[in-house]
């Protein structure tokens, strides 16, 4: 019996690739966004909490400045400073590379640029062995399913949360704010890398932010923001 189990595990590892992440049901706010009362629950395809300034005219922006990512984790986090630095740099670089597809990314804040500020508010690696086992073996999978019902994420998978603010580089007016949380799904893909779920969440957020800003830039112009 054990030989069959190990054979299944080895086969699963052999086909591992890039993990798919899933949006959690809720996100815990951190304080990075000063006023959460303006945020509404996100619709399908949006962040869990989101705000868009109804007067914002994104079509006037051609340049974007992306601040270095701030790490805003709870005091209970046991991650090392080196790990946190690597995670923050990875999120920052992923966002810049995606934004560069539609905007000019500038090295410092200038008056006519959008300013993007990001905070990493949760980061937790997966338990590689248990992640694989809970995918393949029904008894452990049942425990993982119970965890999903209780917390909105599967057990043993990696998870991350971020908060974002987009402001006008000249006036500092808030144009968009969001908070979101994602975690690994029930897949063997990428399961040998304990941080794969987190990095895949970063990739998703970078893609979504770039896509959303570009879509808003192509919409009709509302009234200009007061200076």
pLDDT of residue 179: 98
Per-residue pLDDT reduced to its tens digit, 131-158: 444 444 444 443 334 344 444 444 547 8
Q: Which of 162, 168, 163 is nearest to 63 (CA)?
A: 168
User: Would you identify the CATH topology of the domain 2-217?
Assistant: Rossmann fold (3.40.50)
Tokens of 143: 């425990």
Query: What does the alpha-carbon distance between residue 26 and residue 31 come to, in Å, rounded to a whole number?
Result: 16
Report the number of secondary-structure helices (H) and strands (E) in the chain. 5, 9
User: In whole numbers, what is the pLDDT of the chain averaged over residues?
Assistant: 80
For 169-194, what is the mean pLDDT? 82
pLDDT of 191 strictly over 90: no
Measure the CA–CA gap between 36 and 17, rounded to whole angstroms: 37
pTM as predicted: 0.77
Which of helix, strand or coil describes residue 20? coil
* Domain extent listing, the chain: 2-217
């Amino acid at each position: 019996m054990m030989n069959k189990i190990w054979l299944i595990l080895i086969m699963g590892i052999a086909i591992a690739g890039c993990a798919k992440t899933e949006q959690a049901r809720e996100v815990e706010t951190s304080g990075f966004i000063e006023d959460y009362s303006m945020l509404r629950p996100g619709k399908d395809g949006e962040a869990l909490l989101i705000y868009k300034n109804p007067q914002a005219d994104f079509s006037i922006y051609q340049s974007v400045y992306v601040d270095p990512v701030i790490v805003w984790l709870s005091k209970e986090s046991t991650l090392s400073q080196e790990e946190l630095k690597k995670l923050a740099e990875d999120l920052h670089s992923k966002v810049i590379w995606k934004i560069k597809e539609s905007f000019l990314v500038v090295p410092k804040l200038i008056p006519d640029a959008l300013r993007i500020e990001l905070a990493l508010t949760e980061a937790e690696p997966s338990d590689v062995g248990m992640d694989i086992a809970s995918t393949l073996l029904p008894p452990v999978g049942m425990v993982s399913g119970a965890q999903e019902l209780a917390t909105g994420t599967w057990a043993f998978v990696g998870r991350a949360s971020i908060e974002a603010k987009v402001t006008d580089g000249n006036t500092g007016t808030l144009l968009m704010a969001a908070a979101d949380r994602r975690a690994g799904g029930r897949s063997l893909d990428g399961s040998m890398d304990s941080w794969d779920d987190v990095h895949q969440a970063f990739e998703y957020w970078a893609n979504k932010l770039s896509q959303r800003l570009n879509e808003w830039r192509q919409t009709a112009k509302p009234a200009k923001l007061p200076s």
